[in-house]
Structure 1
Amino acid sequence: MDFQLKTLSTAQAATEKADALIVLVAAGTSLTPGDVLGSLIAQARKAGDLADKAGKTLALYRPSGVAAPRVLLVSIGDGLPASVRSAVIAAVNAAKAANPKRAAVVFAQPVDAAGLAAAVLATADASYVYTTTKSKAEPRTLRQVVMGVADAEALRAPFDRACATVAGIELAKEWGNRPGNHSTPTLLAEAAQGLAKLPNIKCEVLGPKEVAKLGMGSFAAVSQGSSEPLRFIVLRYQGAPKSQAPVVLVGKGITFDTGGVSLKPAAEMDEMKFDMCGAASVLGVFRALGDIQPAINVVGLVPSCENMNDGRALKPGDVVTSMSGQTIEVLNTDAEGRLILCDALTYAKRFEPAAVIDIATLTGACVVALGGVRSGLFSADDTLAAALESAGEAAQDRCWRMPLDDEYAEGLKTNFADVANIAGRAGGAITAAKFLQRFASDYPWAHLDIAGTAWKSGAAKGSTGRPVGLLLGYLLARGAGPVPAGTKAAEPKAKSAKARAAK
């Protein structure tokens, strides 16, 4: 998607050449007398054809004095980002029927950075089309969008950030939407390596031998039933001096999940291609960081494998040894995400992180608790939790903080290992988080359960790209300045990961 930012009043917008012109009108907006579009809006309001409720639209065809053949007057209600988003999605969906290639989205009144970002993200979301595995794909018809505001230069920086966020979200969508045979651990690692072409990003990929030497017995056990070799992806973005502690993002990368021996029901099992959306969100964040170049350090860790069945597959009752040395009794092989994440959380310690956030499509219980509106947030660190909640609200990529009382861990006790990988049905999202918490005691940690928000089912089936927006908002709030001159891509503190694994 090619976005452009221009200074456009409603009078100027009337002369803008586009296949479709979308005019966003807030409640109570006073328009310039004599302005063609302003007069059309005033007449529509007076006739009751353009209500102030966000998302209400009025379509006009070749109105006199307007260059664009199709005009959509759209109410954005109170003008808040959520209202802008819902209005723009409605407008773009309405405009798509005419297959426009170039559109102009113009605010009829001044807009702030948050409102503009909401419009950019909503336009991209509503026009996104997945084509990778279609033989006769119909590509995205809307290819160029002009965003018209009262003062383009004043909003240039937030506009650029919004465009970078779109690139990150769409990368996450792309890999989330790909079927399992087009998104293996090896292919996912190659996508991560491609990100190293961006400034200040480096990528290292570890295979089964390196993972075994690191002692990641829990991660390796999940992959042993698949013919596809596991990959452990290490991404580094360095936009600040090496002395600044990084934020580590850990993304669950199960590229397909059958449930293993604890086999899932056949119905909707195809959607288990989305079980790597946590990993996809980490790739999406790094894609955006490569464009934005903020003055922060970020590490991305992606343990990636398939959870499949053969004669070597992990069995219920097996006991595995994690990288931390803790032993785990596997009572259910379909609770595999926590088994790969726990080793990545232990690995994260070597970066002496300022914070670690894991992102995973972890539990159906979180879907039951929160549905598809908010991601589940778990953290014992109030400061970190508050920062993530705030970032989610600002990005309209919301989360909800869940409890982590110690009593929830009682069900993880077992007679045969240090911990079991599941407890009972009650509070399943919380007990999963309590399991992960055992491996994240050395740094501020948060867990995002995105099982309900990472993709949609039904007619709208597809990846949402969440929580790329939330994560970027959190990271950018930590350091929004430019990259210091002379900063190079992050280097490991000592030897490379492969060299350390060889010890």
Structure 2
Amino acid sequence: MEFILSTESVLKIKADILVLGIFKGQKYSGVIKSVNDTLKGALKDLSEEEDFEGDLGKSLMLSSTLGKIASKRVLLVGLGEKAEFTQNTLRKVGILVIKKIKNISSSAVFSSEVSSSPGDVLAVSEGVLLGSYEFNKYKTNNTSENKIEKIIFSSNKIKAATFTQEIEFARLIADSTNLARDLVNEPPMYLTPSKLAEVASQVAKDGGLKCEIFDYAEIEKRGMNGLMAVSSGSEEPPRFIHLTYEPAKKTRKTIAVVGKGITFDSGGLCLKPPDSMRTMKMDMGGSAVVLGVMKAIAVLKPQVRVHGLIASCENMTGGKAYKPDDVINAYNGKTIEVINTDAEGRVVLSDALSYAVELKVDEIVDLATLTGACMVGLGSYTAGVMGNDQKLIDKIRNASDSVGEKTWQLPMDDELRAEIKSSVADIKNAGSKMGGAITAAMFLENFVGDVPWAHIDIAGPAFMEKESLWNPIGGTGFGVRTIIKYLSGK
């Protein structure tokens, strides 16, 4: 897809579709008035006929301009309430527009009303690229439905060099997010822990990152017994992945981004029911975020050292599978009583978090499709954020707000800590159903020491079972853009 900057009037730019944005209740003025007047009021007449008021997520297509302007059709897109307008609005506009027109057009021009600044161009183009995502590699007819070849921005306020920079950044963000989406969408028979390690190795090679892959023998040698235990029921061997980005200049700050990498979760001996098992290829969503982030960081080159850590295995039901009542001696020496083998994500993360502490990092952020409880509490579109450091939590939440990924902080209520106390070990891997997302985070807190740490439970927004207005079906790549913003400030 080609992106072009034009200083011509939108009335004169040739394209299949002209995209105009309008706020709710806005009177026709500027570019919209000019287009409507040239079309002899056709746009306004159609709006009134269809009761189109400019709500965000709504659009209206004028099917023919009868040659009165250079574009063949006009798409009027609602921007919602002006008081609530942000660049996230424009990102959504980009997604909406591409979904509306990708099957019917090869080119579109965005008017200056939605491309008046470099930030506007970035938001819209990012939305267009994210909205263009398809995962069809396993279909016999896998020809893309997207016919769009050219996106034109009409603006005389943006320099060409700045425009190019914004488009390049949008492509990087979209490519990194779409890598995470692809990984989540891969069938588990293909995306095994070993294959995930190969992808990580390629990301490192492409970006000039350091890459270490621990195989079964190395994991066992190092005493990563949580990862060993969870993987014990599977024929597929576990992998521990460590990518490192080292900035060109010396830096005092080091951050670890940790991802849960369960490439398939049957629940283990505490077997999931079929309906709950069906989408469990997505249980490596945290690891997909880590790889998407490291892909981007290698290009953006922030002045901070970044360790990307992934603990990856399958959770299966073989004869050697770990069992309820087992006690695991974790990597940092703490003992874990197994209550539920389907609470495996926190067990493998215990090793990864303890390993991160050994790297003497200044901050740790982990991402995991960890609990159904978080989905019950916050729904399918919002991630839960918890941790031991409010400043870090605020950084994460500010970053997520900036890029339009919804997060909400859950309270680490001390009264709930009794839920994970064990009578036979230091802690147990599951408590009651009440406050399950919080007690899972409290379990993880045992493995971060005094390091500032934030936990992001992405169980809800990492995967969509049906397409929504702003999200594709399947993997969403949720978290990639938030963590890139947090690490780079961009």
TM-score, normalisation: structure 1: 0.88
Q: Unmatched 5+ residue regions in structure 2?
A: none
Query: 1:31 corresponds to which residue?
Result: 30
The superposition leaves residues 106-134 of structure 1 with CA deviations (integer Å, 9 ceiling, x where unpaired) of 44355345443332232223321101222
Residue 87 of structure 2 corresponds to 81
Percent of counterpart pairs with the same letter?
35
User: 1: distance between equivalents of 2:373 and 2:415?
Assistant: 18
Instruction: Tell me the SS of whatever aligns to 2:279.
Output: helix
Q: 1:411/1:32 Cα in 2 relative to 1: closer, same or farther (>3 Å)? A: closer
**In the alignment, which residue of structure 2 is the partner of 1:21?**
18
Is the contact between residue 31 and residue 113 of structure 2 (CA under 8 Å) also seen in structure 1?
A: no
Going from structure 1 to structure 2, the CA distance change for 1:52 and 1:246 (only over 3 Å counts) comes to same
Matches within 5 A, 1:179-218: 179-218=187-226
Q: 1:179 offset after TM fit, Å? A: 1.0
Look up the match of 1:134.
Answer: 139
Aligned to 2:450, what secondary structure does the other structure show? Answer: coil
Question: Structure 1 residues 8, 410: CA separation in 2 closer, same or farther (over 3 Å shift)?
Answer: farther
The one-character-per-residue Cα deviations of 1:369-398 (angstroms, maximum 9, x if unpaired) are 000221000012111011111111110002
Task: Look up the match of 1:54.
Answer: 56
| TM-aligned CA deviation for residue 349 of structure 1 | 1.6
Aligned to 2:465: 457
| Cα 1:144/1:235, change in 2 over 3 Å | farther
Matched, 1:92 2:94: no
Cross-structure match for 2:373: 365
3-state DSSP class of the match of 1:71? strand
- Aligned partners of 1:32 and 1:38 also within 8 Å: no
Written as runs of structure 1 = structure 2, the 5 A alignment for 1:228-377 is 228-377=236-385
CA change 1:247–1:391 in 2 (3 A) is same
Q: SS where residue 124 of structure 1 aligns?
A: helix
Alignment CA distance shift 1:33-1:361 (3 Å) = closer
1:405 and 2:408 equivalent?
no
Offset, 1:291? 3.2
Q: What is residue 483 of structure 1 aligned with on the other side?
A: none
Contact 2:387 2:454 in 1 (8 A): yes
Do the aligned partners of residues 76 and 445 (structure 1) sit closer, same or farther apart at CA in structure 2, a change above 3 Å counting?
Answer: same
Say yes or no: does 1:44 pair with 2:43: yes
CA separation of 1:34 and 1:415: change in aligned 2, threshold 3 A: closer
Aligned to 2:149: 144
Q: In the alignment, what sits opposite 1:490?
A: none
Conserved 8 A contact 2:109-2:154: no
Cα displacement (A) at 1:294: 2.9
CA, structure 1 residues 187+147, in 2 after alignment: closer, same or farther (shift >3 Å)?
farther
Q: Deviations over 1:347-382 (max 9, x none)?
A: 112322121100000000000000022100001211
Q: What are the Cα deviations for residues 284-336 of structure 1, in whole angstroms up to 9, with x where unaligned? A: 11122233333332110011110011110001111111110111111100000
Q: CA deviation at 1:93?
A: 2.4
Deviations 1:428-479 (A, max 9, x none): 00000000001012311000000011011146641111011111111122xx
Number of residue pairs the alignment of both structures matches? 474
Q: Retained in 1: the 8 A contact 2:2–2:149?
A: yes
| Contact 1:21/1:103, CA 8 A, preserved across alignment | yes
Quote the Cα distance in structure 2 between the aligned partners of 1:89 and 1:278. 24
Distance 1:432 1:123 in 2: 36
SS for the counterpart of 1:181 is coil
| Aligned match of 1:6 | 5
Alpha-carbon distance in 1 for matches of 2:432, 2:408 = 22
In the alignment, what sits opposite 1:384?
A: 392
How well do the aligned residues superpose, as a CA RMSD in angstroms? 2.4
Q: For 1:108 and 1:387, locate their aligned partners in 2 and report how far apart those are by CA, in whole Å.
A: 31
Q: Please, which runs of 5 or more residues in structure 1 have no aligned partner? A: 481-503
**Residue 260 to residue 72, structure 1, CA distance change in 2 (3 Å):** same
CA deviations on 1:236-282 (whole Å, 9 max, x unpaired) are: 12234344322110010000000000000011412000000110011
Structure-2 separation of matches of 1:293 and 1:5: 27
Q: Any conservation in 2 of the 1:8–1:106 contact (CA below 8 Å)?
A: no
Give the superposition deviation at 1:37.
Answer: 6.7
Whether 1:471 and 2:483 are equivalent positions in the alignment is yes
Separation of aligned partners in 2, 1:57 and 1:187: 42
> Residue 163 of structure 1 aligns to a residue in which SS?
helix
Partners of 1:131 and 1:410 in 2: CA distance: 47
Who is 1:493 aligned against? none
